[in-house]
Structures are given as structure tokens and as C-alpha cells.
Structure 1
Amino acid sequence: MFNLDLTEIDANLRQGGNYLLKFMQTLSVQYNSYLAGEQVAREDLYPCMCSCHGQNRKGVGCHKCSYHHTETTTYSYSPLHDMVSEFLTQAEQENPETAAVMFLGVAKELMLQKEPPHITRERTEVIIQGTYSEDPNDANAVWHEYEFKCKPGNVAWRPCFITPYHYRLDWLMWFAAFQTYEQNEWIIHLAGKLLANDNSALSLIALNPFKGKKRPRWIRGEHYKYKFSQLGGKHAAKGKWWIRKRIGPYFPPVNLRGLKQFFASRDWPHPHGH
């Protein structure tokens, strides 16, 4: 026999409703702020590395990097994440009836949220590839792709779920895909490290196609456009999460010998293959 106090249960449900209503009012303000975004200078997000910025031309950009010296809209979900996390923590400390209203209410609200209007449904990616071929321009050269921990690469790999932080290298690779390698010289530094099978660089990567083998002779960067495959479509039926189309080369094939002067001119230690 259950000993239920309906008056007490009703009071607990009303209490949960009151908490939820107050939370929703505060969330609405924060959510609208999130959708509006914030205008910031691109160079405040990541520095321009274009070679046109000489000592006497500080702040002056060329046609290659003019896009970098503009404003962009950024969207920070962190305040919303913190607000929801705090509310869920509060719900866990309430009695079961009050908590149920709070949990179900916030779940319903989050499901109704929409993405900011400027978030694109396509993205460009830099795909790094290596080969054993002596001639990187040989049409028969076989190129193997490095896979990163989170960013799109292999179209059959399921997208990762990670929050609230990103993998730093994957994040930088995404921004690099908006620009040229001349504006992101660090990516050539990464290529040199991969040519040398550098353990510190490889620790940041999910799949090294040359693991346990001799190091590659050449590495190149290819530029691709990615979009999600359609549920029920032919690509999804083949187990492909992504549809990708090659845009063109991102950076040309490089080898350790050819990078020696490039590294020296920037006072970077030249990686040694092993």
C-alpha cells in the first residue's frame, strides 16, 4: 500500500514549474544573445601569418590576406552551457517530483533550439597526405591520408562529439582551410614534423598511415569541401557520413630536404627523420 500525499506532490510539481519558468526567462535572454553573435576582428581570433607583413608594413595586408583583416561573427555557446549545467545541478538536489519537472522542461526547451543563421552546412578541410613515391608528381603515386581526432577526413568516420573544448590542432586546421598555407605557415611546420615521424606531432593525430613503417618521402595538403550525407541517401547507405569534393591543392608536395632552408629562415629546428 502506497502512502501518497497528493497535496505534497502537487506542491513539489508547482515548485518545479516555478523553477523552470524562472530559468526559461533567463535562458531566453542568453539564447537570443547567442543567436545574435558578436562581431570581432578575425586577426583577434588568430594572427595573420602572411609574408606581406614586413617590419615596415605592420598591419598592411596584400590581396592574399585581405579577407583576414575583416570582421566576422562569432557564436559562444559557453554561457548557455554553463547556465544549463547549473540548472541541472540544482535539479539533482531537489526531490524527485520537482526534479522531474525541471529535467523534462529543460530537455524540451533545448530540443526546440535552432542554430545561428550564419552557421554553414558545408565546410572546407585540409587533408594531409603522404607518399613513398620518389616523384610526387607521378600520376601513379599512392597517397595515404592522416586522420585527425575530430575534424572530418575519412568520409566513413562518424563525427566526434566533444564539449565544451576542442582539440587544438583540429580547430586550427579548420581555420587554416579558410585561408592559404602562406597565411598559416605552421601547417608546413607540421608537415615537416610528420615527414620526420615526430612522436610529439603524431600524438596529436588519430591515425598515422605510416605507423610501424618507414617515414614518407613527401607530404602534401589537399583542399576539400565537406557536407553531411543525406539520411536514406546513396552515400549514407554505403556507410558514409560525409560527401566530399576536391577543390584543389592546398600546399604543394614537400620533403625534408626541401624544407631545410624554409625552417632555417624561420629559426625552426629542422626535424630529423627516423
Structure 2
Amino acid sequence: MAGQTMIGVIGGSGIYDIDGLEDAAWRAVQSPWGSPSDEILTGTLGGVPMAFLPRHGRGHVHSPSSVPYRANIDALKRLGVTDVISVSACGSFREEMAPGHFVVVDQFIDRTFAREKSFFGEGCVAHVSVAHPTCPRLGEACFTAAQDAGITVHNGGTYLAMEGPQFSTLAESKMYRDSWGADVIGMTNMPEAKLAREAELCYASIAMVTDYDSWHPDHGEVDVTEIVKILTGNADKGREMVRRLPTLLGTDREACPHGCDRALEFALLTAPDKRDAALLGRLDAVAGRVLG
């Protein structure tokens, strides 16, 4: 909806803060969905309110499966975040999407299985559309910001979300690339993107390529040492990209032209007199606009 822009950045491996924040402070945010991954760093950048959440926690304490995705999205919504930028490390299935490059993701294949994937359920059933799971407006801003920062960036790509924490087998890597048409692979953007849609937040995913996964004939198995080296360089690039977003997005925010901020408009199916009061209490931030 129209109002003031507040940018939320969920930082993946290697990105644990934002450079240049004014009035920066780490804040503990309580959520009925549990504790977020960490405290949230808030401040302003270029006159635009910002919130930064390290997805794995400072010190990298959460595995991809143990990240509290619902608490993270709920906490950002409670702070007033309107636009979520997900930054995460990934492997590449495409020769042209080389280590050190960024990919603005616009589609997902969800292969995770050990995570809670919705805020809704028995007592308040809702179905949102994730046919187009990222916000084109926000993705375009990230693409421009990356270009302005001198980063080699690809506009569009399909992200295969695997459970992990192990990397793919060679057979899996070839299947995801050749049969399924995925472009990059990671472990953390699902159910994050789905939950952001349920919370009526615009969401963009920036995948930072660290390796070619195991399909590449000259790459061999994933080398963690090499990944860490590229992670460091990608983290610096990621911060440069984020630093340019406030200017591109501005302080005044119009309603999302793609309807991300109205995703729940017709999504609730449970009759009002059949809704569970306890669940409704937990949905106050995520779905308060439609629950009244």
C-alpha cells in the first residue's frame, strides 16, 4: 500500500551488516512465531529507513533448515518493512552465470521438506498466488543498483531451493540443470519468498554465485575453501548494491503495481465465525490489514 518506504535486507552467508547506516542500532524484535535469527540492525540510509537481518545469525549459527523463516518475516513486517531484499550465496548451473556474478531471481523450484512454509493453517486457511514469486519492480531496482555498482548481473533466473545442508550429488546437479531448467541452486530462499508473499511484502532475491555446483566437467566437487574466498568478494559487492537502493526506491512508496502488498485480498477461505482466535492473534502483523 502507499506510504513510506522501509527496506528490509535479509543477508545470507558473508553479509552480516550494512555499511553507512545512520543512527544504527541492533533491536530485539519479539514475534509470536518464535525468535528471529538475530536482533535486527535498524537505521537510515539516504534518508530511507532500513532494517537488516542476518539470516543465519551473527557468527552463522543457523543451518538452512533451522533458520526461523516465519519469525524473520513476521519481525520485519512488525518493524514496518515494505520491501524485502534477499541476498544469498548460490551455485550456478549456467556457464555464463560465473562465480562472482549476481542473478536477479524471478522463479523458484521448491525442493525443501523440513520447514514450516505458511503462517496459515487449521483455523485460518489462506491460499496466495506465487505464480510470480518475486516483485518485478523491486527486482528491477536491484538489477539497476548492481549494474551501477559495477557488478556483472543477470536479470532473471530460476532458483532451485534444496534442503541441504549437504551439496548436491552429481546426478542431482545434472537433473536440476538439464531436465528441470534451473539456473542457480541454494538452500534458503524457500519458504522465505512464500512467507513474504503471505505477509504482503514485496520481495526480491539476489543470488550471488560462488561456484558451478558439481555438474561442471572442469569444476569437480564443490570446493568449500574456494567458495569462502568468493563469498568475501561477493559480500563486498552486495553491500555496494544495497547502498544504492534507497536512492532508487525513494522515501515515498506507492501501492505495488504488481499487487504484492495486496496478496491476501481474496486469499482467506475460513469463515469468520470458524476462525481460530489463537491463530488470529499470531497473525496480527502478517494479516492484520485483512483481518481487521
TM-score category, normalised to shorter length: under 0.3
TM-score with structure 1 length normalisation?
A: 0.24
Greater fraction helix: 1
With a CA cutoff of 8 Å and minimum separation of 6, indicate the structure with the bigger relative contact order: 2
Q: Which has the higher strand share?
A: 2
Larger radius of gyration: 1
TM-score, length of structure 2 as denominator length: 0.23
